[in-house]
Amino acid sequence: MALAGIRCLVTGAGGFLGRRIICQMLEEDQGPDEVRALDKAIGPETRRAFAKVKTKTLLTVIEGDIRDVASLQTAVQGITVVIHTACIIDTLGIVDKHTLWDVNVRGTQLLLESCLRNSVPYFIYTSSIEVTGPNSRGDPVYDGDEDTVYQSTQGFPYAENKKEAEKSVLEMDGLPLKDGSSFVTCALRSMYIYGEGSLFLQRHLDQSIQNNNIFLRISQKEALVNPAYVGNVAWAHVQAAKAMKDPEKVKRIRGQFYFISDDTPHVSYSDLNYELTKELGFGIQPKLAMPLMILYWYALLLEVVSFLLHPFVRYVPSINRHLVTLLNTPFSFSYRKAQRDFGYVPRYKWEEAKQQTSQWIAKITPLRTAYLKNKNS
């Protein structure tokens, strides 16, 4: 199934995932008639990435805020499929709760309303594994799927925001459009995404450089998860967009959510960092700096200190209980349902994903080393 004949809007176009989705769409032999790239700011690196792709597809770049109704009204006119990746990712509580909700939840709802007003037929939402968990008890899941029963006891703002936004998306499936058809929505719950350009991976790299090229162990070796390569998560979105042209597939995917993973080996978050860098000479701590239970109570102590200091100074701890649990709970899910319903199969094998990511790390390591040395001098 080709993308020819559709017009696609991608929000969060300047982000880690959004940019990759757009590049893959532009690379298609029978690509969309138009791709619109919407973001608050499209940086020079993103523009260069778009310019490198030889394509017959019209690319329209729109700089606008997801919370601005006028920008959304312009962006969705004449669009066939919206892929909504724009959000603020915050696992530490750095962003204030109002701003986080305003972008992640209200922004999504405003975009949905704009789609309904302008009879946009199809909507694909980039959700997150954190909508599912892990819960505060750290109950594990091994190779789960969309039918796995799991009691969520979250409460961390980012996870709750993504859950509420996904709910808004799926509840709007089936609403009538002006042409007599109905709105079709689905959500793709991605695992932790790694790959070239990952800010999270760069942050861990900086910490390891400052620790003599030894990664700090932040998750137990047995806390197995299944991270997904950015190229594969992007490809799942492209495949979902293609499926919107197939009436039989539309019947299956409408109103559904899907876990998006790939064939990356099941490892802990810390051991993924090591796997991607060991051939570059990096090492990793053999165990956590302190027993897991003590680390959990230490994180609680930091949260209490942050709360007590709040009237006087803003202090955001480098770790919290939610993050300790997230990083140390076995939590993995299969992509079988996405494969069955809309034909998703990972585009990149593990070895290729690892090679591409490692090459990027090798390229930026000297730059990060020099930057950190100057910063600390």
The DSSP-derived string for 16-67 is HHHHHHHHHHHH-TT--SEEEEEES---HHHHHHHHHS--SSEEEEEE--TT
Alpha helices (H) in 189-329, listed in sequence order: 199-210, 230-243, 247-253, 269-277, 292-309, 321-327
CA angle centred on 231, ends 17 and 67, rounded to 5°: 15
Q: Specify if 309 maps to a domain.
A: no
Q: If residue 317 lies in a helix (H) or strand (E), which one and from where to where?
A: none
Q: What are phi and psi of 229, to 5 degrees?
A: -75, 140
Per-position pLDDT tens, the chain of length 377:
689 899 999 999 999 999 999 999 999 989 899 999 999 988 888 888 888 888 889 999 999 999 999 999 999 999 999 999 999 998 888 888 999 999 999 999 999 999 999 999 999 999 999 999 999 899 999 999 999 999 886 678 999 999 999 999 999 999 999 888 999 999 999 999 999 999 999 999 999 999 999 999 999 999 999 999 999 999 999 999 999 999 999 999 999 999 999 999 999 999 999 999 999 999 999 999 899 999 999 999 999 999 898 888 888 888 899 999 999 999 999 999 999 999 999 999 999 999 999 999 999 999 888 888 888 76
Per DSSP, 251 falls in state: H
CA dihedral sign, ordered 275, 369, 208, 305: negative
How confident is the model at residue 84, as a pLDDT? Answer: 98
End-to-end CA distance of the chain: 56
- For residue 293, give every residue at least 6 positions away whose Cβ sits within 8 Å of its Cβ, in sequence order, or none: none
Q: Specify if 291 maps to a domain.
A: no
Task: For residue range 258-302, list pLDDT tens digits in order.
Answer: 999 999 999 999 999 999 999 999 999 999 989 999 999 999 999
Distance between CA atoms of 279 and 362, rounded to whole angstroms?
A: 10
Q: Specify if 16 maps to a domain.
A: yes
Q: Specify if 100 maps to a domain.
A: yes
Q: Specify if 160 maps to a domain.
A: yes
Distance between CA atoms of 58 and 246, rounded to whole angstroms?
A: 23
* Pick from 155, 161, 164: nearest CA to 135: 155
Residues annotated as part of the active site: 158
Place of tokens 């696609």: 8
Q: Specify if 143 maps to a domain.
A: yes
Task: For residue range 99-136, list pLDDT tens digits in order.
Answer: 999 999 999 999 999 999 999 999 999 999 999 999 98
Any idea what the CATH number is for the domain that residue 193 is in?
3.40.50.720
How many separate domains does the chain show?
Answer: 1
Per DSSP, 278 falls in state: G
Domain extent for 142: 7-198+226-266+331-349
Q: Specify if 22 maps to a domain.
A: yes
Q: Specify if 81 maps to a domain.
A: yes
Which pair of tokens denotes residue 180? 């007599």
How confident is the model at residue 153, as a pLDDT? Answer: 66
Burial profile 10-27: b = 16 or more Cβ within 10 angstroms, e = fewer = bbbbbbbbbbbbbbbbbe
